A and B are shown apart, each in its own frame.
Chain A
């Protein structure tokens, strides 16, 4: 069962532009929403994360916007650079006594042209 839906599947932006990736979830018990960045041949690396008690979190050029009522969240990459070219995954989990397990979206292949 796909519980986290991610779009678009691929995205091409020009250097300096804004990249926007969207995710929607179904399970209202999710209470932790991280974004991971993955380069070819590497494991996913945590980029930024948010909890549902805030609507926005910014770290450098990366911003998460969160809409709890719509069960949606998005990643905005400002001033996109060629080095940002990678696959981005949104994820969600429930922090519970049994430990968190991440449910990932299907990924967005971002290409930033110079």
Chain B
């Protein structure tokens, strides 16, 4: 089975532009989360979506938005790009939003490397 896939792999934008990143979860997974990983740091949580609804949001400005589609794929949008938005954007999928029987393990994709000039 295919893992989490993300597109594009790399992206170069200039300040003020807008960008859309895409994620396809593992087949059967209904939850998608987005993380930002700045070079040399650990990933930071941005959003979590489950069944097309936002279930969690990290400490990021309103320039960041996301959505989940009926096939559980997801898009992350960032408006008015700043130099500080340059990072690896990771998508993770998991099977259940909640589980009383087991841990809801998150599986990460390879990420999209965004460079803002």
Q: Which of A's residues lie within 8 Å of B, judged by CB? A: 4, 6, 32, 34, 36, 41-46, 49, 51, 89, 91, 95-107
Q: With A45-B108, A106-B41, A107-B42 known to touch, is A98 a contact of B103 (CB < 8 Å)?
A: no
Which B residues between 98 and 117 are near A, CB-CB below 8 angstroms?
A: 98-99, 103-111
Which B residues between 54 and 78 are near A, CB-CB below 8 angstroms?
A: 55-56, 58
Q: Are B105 and A95 in contact (CB under 8 A)?
A: no
In the bound complex, what is the Cα–Cα distance between A44 and B92 (angstroms)? 9
Q: Are A99 and B41 in contact (CB under 8 A)?
A: no
Residue of B nearest to A32 (CB): B103
* Chain A: minimal CB distance from B95 (Å): 11
Name 5 A/B residue pairs within 8 A (Cβ), A-sorted.
A89-B42, A99-B50, A101-B33, A101-B58, A102-B45
**Looking at A45, A101, A107, which has the most chain B CB atoms within 10 Å of its CB?**
A101
Instruction: Note all chain B residues with C-beta closer than 8 A to A4.
Output: 42
Q: Which of B's residues lie within 8 Å of A, judged by CB? A: 4, 31, 33, 35, 40-45, 48, 50, 55-56, 58, 90, 92, 94, 97-99, 103-111
In the bound complex, what is the Cα–Cα distance between A1 and B104 (angstroms)? 24
* Chain B: minimal CB distance from A42 (Å): 6
Which single member of A43, A51, A98, A105 contacts B42 (CB below 8 Å)?
A: A105
Residue of A nearest to B100 (CB): A95
Q: With A101-B56, A102-B106 known to touch, is A44 a contact of B31 (CB < 8 Å)?
A: no
In the bound complex, what is the Cα–Cα distance between A49 and B44 (angstroms)? 19
Q: Are B104 and A99 in contact (CB under 8 A)?
A: yes
In the bound complex, what is the Cα–Cα distance between A34 and B106 (angstroms)? 10
* Chain A: minimal CB distance from B47 (Å): 9
* Chain B: minimal CB distance from A29 (Å): 14
Residue of A nearest to B88 (CB): A43
Which single member of B55, B109, B110 contacts A98 (CB below 8 Å)?
A: B55
Q: Are B43 and A89 in contact (CB under 8 A)?
A: yes
Q: With A95-B103, A99-B98 known to touch, is A43 a contact of B110 (CB < 8 Å)?
A: yes
